[in-house]
Amino acid sequence: MNADRLKLAAVLALSFLFSLNFYNFGIEFISKPPFKYNYISDEVWYVSASRNLMREVFRAYPNSSNATVQAKDIVALTKFISLYSSQYGIDYSEPYSKIENAAYLVGNSTEGIKKLMKDAEKFNLTLVQPGWKYPDHEGILKYLNLEHPPLAKYIIGLKLLGEDLPPSWRLPGVALGSVAFFALPVALYLYSRSLILSLGSLLLLHFDEAFRVMSMVAMLDGYAASFSVLSLAALPLSPALATLFYALASNSKYTALFYFIPIAYVYRYERGKSPLGSLLRPLGSFAVGLVVLSLPIILGLGFDQWLSRLVGGVKWFLTSRPSGPPPASPLDWLTGNQPSPLYVDPALYVYTNPSILQLGLISFFALFPLRRKRTYKPAWLASLYLVSALLGLSAVYLAGNKTLYTFYVAVFTPMADVAAAGLAALLADWDSAYEVVEWWAKRLKGLVAWSLGRARLECKLEGS
């Protein structure tokens, strides 16, 4: 076995072992109490919306012996529970306090719940929803979360159709995160042939708590993060594949939308496409994906309602929310302030590693002169992903949304990991490091001369 094959085998083996550890850790987490019995943070909204979308749009229901029921009035609900519920295998019921005329039925027969769904009108029941108990929030039984794109909710919804239990909601996110974890260092090595970049990224991703935690909860951010990682992994090798993953990421949550910038850059400066064509490829893929994925919603609810919710979602994205976890600014992320609490006891937080984020930003400038070299191109593109996300979310913050949360960072912390690993590769390569110093010294010298009126400043993005 020659040296190249040996290195590739090492990268494959280590990536597999680390991704397997990532997966096993996630499975252990989602399977242990109290998490296996409870909603975590915004799962109360996303899982509920996923369940409701399956019912309202696809007329599909989980296979469960338990169900939430809602009646026309409290008299009808009380009468059904006290006189008839035992006929359908119901052992006991738990009333909701904030959901009007509703109760959660715990039973022992899935067939009994299916029969109850057919007989609902006889008892003046307006809703029979099999599955896990809803969080006790007013309006939750009809909430569809249309202010966010639908892809991740479809994935969660499809999984809970088979088994509507907390570990089941979270399993797809753990699996997708594990795939992204494996693919990134392998793709980095296949393109760059740099062990330092590949294995350095692997190690930093292993300690990336934001990416790990958000992959283990049934929230949209984990899906946006994993698809974004796959987009970065694919971009140097196949911009078309990267564009596809970008469409999946941005249709999971809009926080990934800003990654049209690095993809457009590659199409423009690496593939020679026109400026408009370079922008249309990623943005068009997002738009087409949004429409295609929303077709079931449009057909089920009507175009006007879907469009009004879509416009409302854009306004919602740019507006501060009245309450929630401690908000954070982009500066807080860069300094490690304001972690997001997801669960109280035991404590579960999402926080940033400010050193890695700051190194990621430094690499944007340090690796810029080497951005066309195979060894450093993936790391510089990762830094461009990072800068794009931070600039985009900063624009959202300045536009009026002061309730950004630290769990949003999962979509770009893996990019910082790769960019920081690129700096490590640079420090091990003295010739390239000298080239960077020389390149920037020349530009700074020209800038000083221009500021003193001794030279004409010429700035070219592609100048070297």
Q: Are residues 113 and 242 in the same domain?
A: no
- Token output for 422: 């690129």
- Could you write out the three-class secondary structure of 185-242? HHHHHHHHCCHHHHHHHHHHHHCCHHHHHHHCCCCHHHHHHHHHHHHHHHCCCCHHHH
Q: Are residues 338 and 406 in the same domain?
A: yes
**Domain interval for residue 114:** 66-162
| Boundary-marking domain end, from 162, 197, 224 | 162
| H/E element, 127 | strand 125-130
The closest of 296, 301, 232 to 262, measured between CA atoms, is 232
- Local confidence pLDDT in tens for the 464 residues of the chain: 688 899 999 999 999 999 999 999 999 999 999 999 999 999 999 999 999 999 999 999 999 999 999 999 999 999 999 999 999 999 999 999 999 999 999 999 999 999 999 999 999 999 999 999 999 999 999 999 999 999 999 999 999 999 999 999 999 999 999 999 999 999 999 999 999 999 999 999 999 999 999 999 999 999 999 999 999 999 999 999 999 999 999 999 999 999 999 999 999 999 999 999 999 999 999 999 999 999 999 998 889 888 888 888 888 888 887 777 789 999 999 999 999 999 998 999 999 999 999 999 999 999 999 999 999 999 999 999 999 999 999 999 999 899 999 999 999 999 999 999 999 999 999 999 999 999 999 999 888 888 777 655 555 555 44
pLDDT at 462: 52
Domains contained in the chain, number:
2
Q: Are residues 364 and 303 in the same domain?
A: yes
Residue 101 makes CB contacts below 8 A (sequence gap 6+) with: 70, 71, 72, 73, 74, 76, 77
pLDDT at 324: 73
Which phi and psi angles does 62 have, rounded to 5°?
Answer: -65, 155
Q: Residue 173 has what DSSP assignment?
A: H
In a domain, 196, yes or no: yes
Q: Are residues 113 and 175 in the same domain?
A: no
Q: Is there a cis peptide before residue 327, judged by omega within 30 degrees of 0? A: no
pLDDT at 196: 97
| Boundary-marking domain end, from 143, 162, 181 | 162
| H/E element, 350 | strand 348-350
At residue 148, the 3 state secondary structure works out as coil
Q: Are residues 243 and 360 in the same domain?
A: yes
- CATH number for 134: 3.30.70
In a domain, 459, yes or no: no
pLDDT at 140: 97
Q: How far apart are CA 299 and CA 318, in angstroms?
A: 28
In a domain, 355, yes or no: yes
pLDDT at 464: 42
pTM of the entire predicted model: 0.94
In a domain, 265, yes or no: yes
**Pairing state between β 340-343 and 67-71:** unpaired
- Token output for 51: 């369940």
C-alpha of 425 from chain center: 28
In a domain, 436, yes or no: no
Q: How far apart are CA 144 and CA 27, in angstroms?
A: 28
> What b/e string do you get for 344-362 counting C-beta neighbours within 10 Å, with b at 16 or more?
eeeebebbbbeebbebbbe
Q: Are residues 148 and 181 in the same domain?
A: no
Helices (H), 57-121: 74-79, 110-119
Q: Are residues 269 and 199 in the same domain?
A: yes
Q: Residue 460 has what DSSP assignment?
A: -
In a domain, 49, yes or no: no
| Boundary-marking domain end, from 136, 162, 188 | 162
